Structure 1
Amino acid sequence: MTGQETTKRICVFCGSSFGRGANFAEKATELGVILAKNDYGLVYGGGTTGLMGCVAKAVASNGSYVHGIIPDALVSKERKNLDEIEKMNHDLKESVSNHKGATPLNDSYGKTTIVPDMHTRKRMMAQEADGFVAMPGGFGTLEEVMEITTWSQLGIHAKPIVLFNIDHYYDEFILFLENCVKRGFISPENGNIIAVATTPEEVIERLKTYKVPEGRFNLTWRNQ
């Protein structure tokens, strides 16, 4: 299988940091492997650090398509080799405070498109993807998964959205969404827009069996 033969591409939202504990990085790598084995390509936020780097390297090294889309401001201007990237990631595993925001690029992590801003990045990722998976991450990841979920509710797209709840990371977030339904700010039907998985295998299953919930807004969107 080559990257060009991949028919479907999954956009993965996740942290450019590793989080505390090895489990997040291990599961990100496992997800990348299983995506490639199921003939999925990857669209992601670009770069080589943290969980983003783990999933991209795993997909690319298993022969599938990888496309990173990253704003120019987040690109490290010094192109680094793999040894230097490994050293950078080692430091990042020690503490998220070692992350300065920018990330180096390397062809081993797939092809990269550099764009001028975050809005262009998110639009291109959404347009290219056939589905979305959110792994653990910080502010950016939460914003991305909420935006793409809102777009589904508004009828802008009808693609699967899966929350990969590694090591109970999203338990409180899931409870918050359930409370939004309970309090009447999200309809029960729209509460089903996000599917939840706890293993890489479940992620694939949720992507393949996803059913678009009834009750989403029936709006007409142009120039998307």
Structure 2
Amino acid sequence: MNIRSICVFCGSRMGARPEYLEAARALGTELGRRGLSLVYGGAGVGLMGAVADAVLAEGGQVVGVLPHLLQSREIAHKNLTELHLVDSMHTRKAMMAERADAFIAMPGGVGTFEELFEITTWAQLGLHHKPIGLLNVADFYGPLLALMRRAVEEGFIPEARAQPFVHDASPSALLESLLKAEQPLTPATPVLGPEQS
């Protein structure tokens, strides 16, 4: 797969640890230096703004997608290559998914989790074949990886789909893994069998 653009899901806040901001800047710098475009939620605040600023500082391309209803709350970034103002969160996520060749989730809140789980579900259903990565700063996503394993053990996720993500604490190492990754979830069998429907 030829990856040229990466969608990053992350918080509109900075978080409690300085490592989160450092990771956002490092990820943006890596994206810019590698000539990879950033697709993200369009805000100029929090980790969202930090990763975008770092890509732009390296001369990279940044595509933001922001719903009108969040334009004042998240404060639209004013210096992006492209800023698309859309009517709904659904349109935002669909456009980001369409414009990206791969996905990375950084630390964030409920919105970040929702975006990550939706794009992972779409992969499981075969709606896209793009790799998904977790930037696991300070083991932020350790509990999620453990939850995925628990769901496998309890029979809710097939073993073959136990780890749909590549993950690393280092932005550069994560990008290396992501660029080499194949489609994370291959729906070789029906998602719902007769006993599950």
Q: Which residue of structure 2 lines up, in the alignment, with residue 138 of structure 1?
A: 109
Output the CA distance in 2 between the equivalents of 1:103 and 1:64. Answer: 22
Q: Which residue of structure 2 lines up, in the alignment, with residue 98 of structure 1?
A: none
Output the CA distance in 1 between the equivalents of 2:185 and 2:148. Answer: 18
Do the aligned partners of residues 136 and 214 (structure 1) sit closer, same or farther apart at CA in structure 2, a change above 3 Å counting? closer
Which structure 2 residue ranges, 5 or more long, are not aligned?
191-197
Which structure 1 residue ranges, 5 or more long, are not aligned?
1-6, 77-101, 220-224
2:82 pairs, out of 106, 111, 115, with: 111
Output the CA distance in 1 between the equivalents of 2:105 and 2:161. Answer: 18
Letter paired with 1:158: H
- Once the two structures are superposed, residues 70-102 of structure 1 have per-residue CA deviations (whole angstroms, 9 ceiling, x without a partner) of 1000012xxxxxxxxxxxxxxxxxxxxxxxxx0
Q: Which residue of structure 2 lines up, in the alignment, with residue 15 of structure 1?
A: 11
Output the CA distance in 2 between the equivalents of 1:214 and 1:147. Answer: 13
1:69 aligned to 2:65? yes
1:36 pairs, out of 16, 32, 52, with: 32
Q: Which residue of structure 1 lines up, in the alignment, with residue 144 of structure 2?
A: 173
TM norm structure 2: 0.90
Q: Which residue of structure 1 lines up, in the alignment, with residue 193 of structure 2?
A: none
- Structure 1 runs of 4+ with >6 Å offset: none
Output the CA distance in 2 between the equivalents of 1:200 and 1:115. Answer: 29
Percent identical pairs in the alignment equals 40
Kept in 2: contact 1:71–1:118 (CA 8 A): yes
Kept in 1: contact 2:105–2:112 (CA 8 A): yes
Matched positions, count: 188
Q: Which residue of structure 2 lines up, in the alignment, with residue 197 of structure 1?
A: 168
Letter paired with 1:191: A
- Once the two structures are superposed, residues 95-120 of structure 1 have per-residue CA deviations (whole angstroms, 9 ceiling, x without a partner) of xxxxxxx0223433442110000000
Output the CA distance in 1 between the equivalents of 2:134 and 2:78. Answer: 28
1:163 pairs, out of 127, 130, 134, with: 134
Q: Which residue of structure 1 lines up, in the alignment, with residue 195 of structure 2?
A: none
Kindly state the Cα deviation for residue 40 of structure 1 after the two structures are TM-superposed: 0.4
Kept in 1: contact 2:124–2:185 (CA 8 A): no
Do the aligned partners of residues 188 and 208 (structure 1) sit closer, same or farther apart at CA in structure 2, a change above 3 Å counting? same
Output the CA distance in 2 between the equivalents of 1:158 and 1:215. Answer: 8
Kindly state the Cα deviation for residue 215 of structure 1 after the two structures are TM-superposed: 4.5
Letter paired with 2:106: M
TM norm structure 1: 0.80
Kept in 2: contact 1:48–1:109 (CA 8 A): no
1:58 aligned to 2:29? no
